[in-house]
Structure 1
Amino acid sequence: MTSVTSVELNLLVFRYFQESGFTHAAFAFGNEASINKSPIDGKLIPPGALITLVQKGLQYLEMEANLSNCDADLDEDFSFLQPLDLITKDVHELRKMVNERRKILQKNRNKESEKENEGGRGWLKEKGRHEREKECERDGEKAENLKELEQQHYNQSCREMVIDQEDLVTVKHAENKAFGGTEPMDVSTTSTLQPCQIPRSDVIVLEGHTSEVCACAWSPTGSLLASGSGDSTARIWTIAEGRCKSALLNGPPNVLVLKHVRGKTNEKSNDVTTLDWNGEGTLLATGSYDGQARIWTTNGELKSTLSKHKGPIFSLKWNKKGDYILTGSCDQTAIVWDVKAEEWKQQFEFHSGWTLDVDWRNNVSFATSSTDTKIHVCKIGENLPIRTFVGHQSEVNCIKWDPTGSLLASCSDDMTAKIWSMKQDKYLHEFREHSKEIYTIRWSPTGPGTNNPNKNLVLASASFDSTVKLWDVELGKLLYSLNGHRDRVYSVAFSPNGEYIASGSPDRSMLIWSLKEGKIVKTYTGDGGIFEVCWNKEGDKIAACFANNTVCVLDFRM
């Protein structure tokens, strides 16, 4: 027991009696007349009870001191117990209360911290996780641990773990033709189809970034690959045609460095958060944490700097025609930029929270989503939204129009994905099978308006519950639950023919699934968490960007 002086003991007792609602005429012990009635039961507190109270008080202070030492990195003051607890509960009950309340406090702090990092769809949601991943690597994840991790992942992938039978929705024979077949997508748990680990010889590792790479995109017309990083640069890599093994013989790929800051700086205000190619593949647009959008040529020249946002840009998209760029920012606005005039055409200020995502419906209208849970459909020249969709209960992370522009898909931290139509205010379908936040969604390149019109349209959703789910949009039903990752899934991408889907996760693995078979057909385990994956236009290469500052290009041939 901690030793105290008589004065400290008097002060201790006085403090706890005073906070419990008692009034003292003097600091002396044993003077029953000096103590008012207890507010609990109206009875006088006998002098002998003071010793118990003192003991509890000292133990309480000791517990609180220990907890303070454990949580020395927490700034604000805290108290786990109230004075009435000390009078009415014994020490064991007090300890239990302290432990329980400490767990709740820490959980809330973690949640608040994660929420702070997750505020921005294109950057803040990833930035905090990048830092945690780098911290883990700094704390001692050595090469042998990585090798063991790879082997564990490969062994796990080779097991039949693709379909969660409880989540599989069986639909009628005549109704289910999602991938051109006539049979329901029923999957056997004893399939002989085994996944194949992509060998390192079939992978080009692109090095040069000095911070995590959070965005990548293939040019729609050529062999150029763009990447955006927290090192305040974007890069354009020239990837030779043919197999990666042959390309490696010719030396490292050519690269252009697109610097978003002049000179040296210690501030992280120019991190590249998002990027997008125009439809002709002649210009690359980048969005930055400094609130500016920039347009670059394929020669790496800065063509335009677009400045009006007052906060980081989270999302950026070219329209199909290529005359406008749309940006969304944490300043709660979306801006349409006239590319030829190199200036803003219209600013849309309808959200009351950060604008997390934007997507064009056609060349003149688009949708925006926000932390305010709302989705607005806007049109150039209109001063008010032409449609507002309300139904999500938390921030809307991602929105995507289907290939025809008639259906809008959305996903949210409320663990649901929804399908909306311009013909009505209420959603057409609500998908609730995910058990955690849904980070992103993608439409398949199939159905009307695509190069694969004979295959039905499918929606993919990637969630923090470690699964990718595929949905029959026409029926509003779950087709597949793809269960192979061991951590959150950040990215999904369909192959150009709509037959495969790639997914990437902080578990360092990229999984490639056959939609016809509903199974993993290829896997790759890198040296860091994966934040985005994308296919080239031919469908024979997949790029993935990593938290360990690299971009990988993988051969894909079945």
Structure 2
Amino acid sequence: MTAAQIRITADEINFLIYSYFQDSGFGHSAFAIRNEGRLQNSPLMSKHIPRGELVDLLHKALLYIEVEAHWRGDSVTANCKSGFSLLEPHVCSADHLTSRLAPASTVSVAEPQSTRVTTTAQLKTLTSSSFAQKDDTQDAAPAMRNVLPSTLKESTLSISTNGNFTPEPNAKRKGSPVPIDEPSEKRPRRETDMDVDSESNLKADLHLAPELPKKTLKPKPRAQGPGDDTTPPQVVKLLPGHKAEVFVCAFNPVQIELLATGSKDAVVNLWNLPRPPHGVNNFARPPPTPLVLENFSKSPQGDLTSLHWNSEGTLLAIGSYDSVLRICTNKGTLYFSHPQHQGPIFATRFSKDGRWLLTASLDGTACLWDVREKCLYKQYRCHKDCCLDVDWLNDDTFASGGADMRINIMRIGENDPIKTLDGHQDEINQIRANPSGTRLASCSDDTTARVWKVDNIPPSADVIPGLVASDHVLVLEGHKHSVSTIGWCPQPPAGMNELLATSSFDGTARLWDSVTGECLKVFADHKRPVYALDFSPNGQFLSTGSGDGWLYIYDVKTHEKKWSWYAGPEKPGVFEIDWQNQSGVNRIALALECRQVAVIDVSKIAALGTPEYIKNTHPKLPIAKPALPRTSVPSSSRG
């Protein structure tokens, strides 16, 4: 029977590239090809494309090309030791320095990485669920040409002894990758694989070297749970209420039991979390079914990018890829919505007094909304390209950062920026003001973070609109890839300057002295891009989450890794972290790629030695209150 002809459409190619852009964190490029190719009208938008599918197919294409190039079986091809490349023609050579049977990789293909759309950077960096390194220098996939026959049996190609290459009818594509240090098991041999005789004939025809000794089975992927053997798994409650990847999460600043989470399918869940019971062996009960805020968005691209509560905890601002601003009450009712923006909304930020709300959009504008009047107050066309993030310096002054590499300082009532901060050499991913509003930190795709002094802005009467200022800036260098997230330590340890943390696609997080610019510590435990970081509200700990599925918690003063938790091998990414510590409740919420929300009861983790844990284990032992540093100020609400 004649096999059906292979059919490839332009839509399929465009959709593979679109998925690759999303996997790689190139949110703007993905948005552009989706609109240029009108992919939103394609039936392919409803299909699930496994992470790294384009890379996987290219890898298999190289395997096919290698066999095709060596099929002649002459002395040159039989002893060829040259590698294969996607972009360079292959020339057989027997004098290549690399041995054919050496275990070193001769084909370098970057594996996909998991990604978040939380703050500006994370929607920009993730909007899907994975990431591939830009420079292809990390996480390279194993070479496919070391032992040809066994490799072919594991691919989606099968070879017959007459030289014909046909795809296996029931071949499965690769699923979600597991952490790099925990590779998956090889597929067991099937009855449909080549038998011993045909495999021997193939070796003889290709003049291949004898088969290497069979490798022992590799260990199974690591199971979900704490990284140590002492923490009870029950300290982590998994909330399975979402049907798509969870991108954002935010605790209510007043109602400590209320947690908001948002996912890729435009659904917001409001969880009523029971208060954790006292006693180290008593664990919180699962929460009731969440209040679901859904069907807000009719767009196929309704990914939620931002959740931000006002300081009173009564209103929740929701940013979405469908370009519509929505504000909901803490009871789940819609307070206000508006389609003013013409592109995805990347950030939403209430002012500290709750009167104003800022939004940042791909359309290059920042909108200022009057919350009480439920109306647009002013739209600032302050960037030539995307406006990627906004933050408040005080109740009437705010900053915006954009893809045009500039930061604009704006004041309510002024039409133009009162100051422009120049210096970054690539898109600005995130900006954050310190608690006192005197300094502004920014991070960029140019691999740097910067700290700007913004307490010297003159009164409105003395302002020269559009004044460009590059002085009073501290450049933090050291990351090897895009810096995606930045955060201030709410209360640095006594005797220390204000501290700043950054995370990057290079797989590391860094702790900085924000006054001297000294890098105090490089945290390099993650194996994939770090998407999220958050300090504990008291400034004692720093937490980081990555596409490799791990949450790590570090001691800010000693820089030691204190505790860790793994999200599991299937869709492991940790996209956002929110740490709550008030009224005797100390817990962490995680937005996970595996369509779940994790809530961690920090008071039950011995390794962290928190006052809550000491009180749970030794109720009669007095707990000394930590002394506040001289420069400490009350921490602002998280966004």
TM-score (norm 1): 0.68
RMSD between aligned alpha carbons? 3.9
1:419 counterpart residue number: 451
Name the SS for the 1:123 alignment partner.
helix
1:432 counterpart residue number: 477
Change (3 A) 1:467 1:255: same
Q: CA deviation at 1:119?
A: 12
- Say if 2:347 and 2:389, in contact at 8 Å, map to a contact too: yes
How many residue pairs match? The answer is: 422
Name the SS for the 2:480 alignment partner.
coil
2:127 counterpart residue number: 127
1:305-340 CA-partner distances (Å, limit 9, x unpaired):
122001110011110000111000000000000011
Please point out which of 264, 278, 282 is paired with 2:314: 282
Distance, in Å, in 2 between the alignment partners of 1:298 and 1:119 is: 21
Query: Which residue identity is paired with 1:467?
Result: T
2:87 counterpart residue number: 101
Change (3 A) 1:530 1:198: farther
1:165 counterpart residue number: none
Please point out which of 408, 420, 434 is paired with 1:376: 408
2:292 counterpart residue number: 257
Please point out which of 471, 475, 479 is paired with 2:520: 479
- 1:506 partnered with 2:541: no
Please point out which of 467, 486, 491 is paired with 2:508: 467
Change (3 A) 1:554 1:73: same
2:371 counterpart residue number: 339
Q: CA deviation at 1:470?
A: 0.7
Change (3 A) 1:240 1:212: same
2:99 counterpart residue number: none
Could you list the runs of 5+ residues in structure 1 that have no partner in the other structure?
1-69, 75-90, 158-194
1:73-115 CA-partner distances (Å, limit 9, x unpaired):
99xxxxxxxxxxxxxxxx9xxx9899473499xx9x999x999
Could you say which structure has the higher helix fraction? 1
Structure 1 residues 263-412: aligned runs within 5 Å: 267-412=299-444
1:83 counterpart residue number: none
- Say if 2:269 and 2:293, in contact at 8 Å, map to a contact too: yes
Q: CA deviation at 1:205?
A: 0.6
Please point out which of 530, 534, 555 is paired with 2:578: 534
Could you list the runs of 5+ residues in structure 2 that have no partner in the other structure?
1-56, 62-76, 91-106, 133-172, 186-217, 457-468, 604-608, 610-639
Query: Which residue identity is paired with 2:351?
Result: N
- Say if 2:431 and 2:440, in contact at 8 Å, map to a contact too: yes
Change (3 A) 1:517 1:377: same
- Say if 1:396 and 1:410, in contact at 8 Å, map to a contact too: yes
- 1:227 partnered with 2:261: yes
1:61 counterpart residue number: none
- Say if 1:442 and 1:461, in contact at 8 Å, map to a contact too: yes
Q: CA deviation at 1:150?
A: 3.1
- Say if 2:225 and 2:567, in contact at 8 Å, map to a contact too: no
Change (3 A) 1:219 1:403: same
Q: CA deviation at 1:545?
A: 0.8
Name the SS for the 2:129 alignment partner.
helix
- Say if 2:364 and 2:381, in contact at 8 Å, map to a contact too: yes
Change (3 A) 1:375 1:229: same
- 1:555 partnered with 2:601: yes
Change (3 A) 1:541 1:152: closer
Change (3 A) 1:455 1:243: farther
- Say if 1:361 and 1:401, in contact at 8 Å, map to a contact too: yes
- 1:443 partnered with 2:484: no
1:10-30 CA-partner distances (Å, limit 9, x unpaired):
xxxxxxxxxxxxxxxxxxxxx
1:398-450 CA-partner distances (Å, limit 9, x unpaired):
10011111111000111001111134532521111111111100001026xxx
Change (3 A) 1:391 1:73: farther
1:239-259 CA-partner distances (Å, limit 9, x unpaired):
11125975654x433411111
- Say if 1:120 and 1:330, in contact at 8 Å, map to a contact too: no
Change (3 A) 1:514 1:71: closer
Structure 1 residues 139-158: aligned runs within 5 Å: 148-150=220-222
- Say if 1:335 and 1:348, in contact at 8 Å, map to a contact too: yes
Distance, in Å, in 2 between the alignment partners of 1:454 and 1:256 is: 45
Distance, in Å, in 1 between the alignment partners of 2:349 and 2:470 is: 25
1:546 counterpart residue number: 592
TM-score (norm 2): 0.60
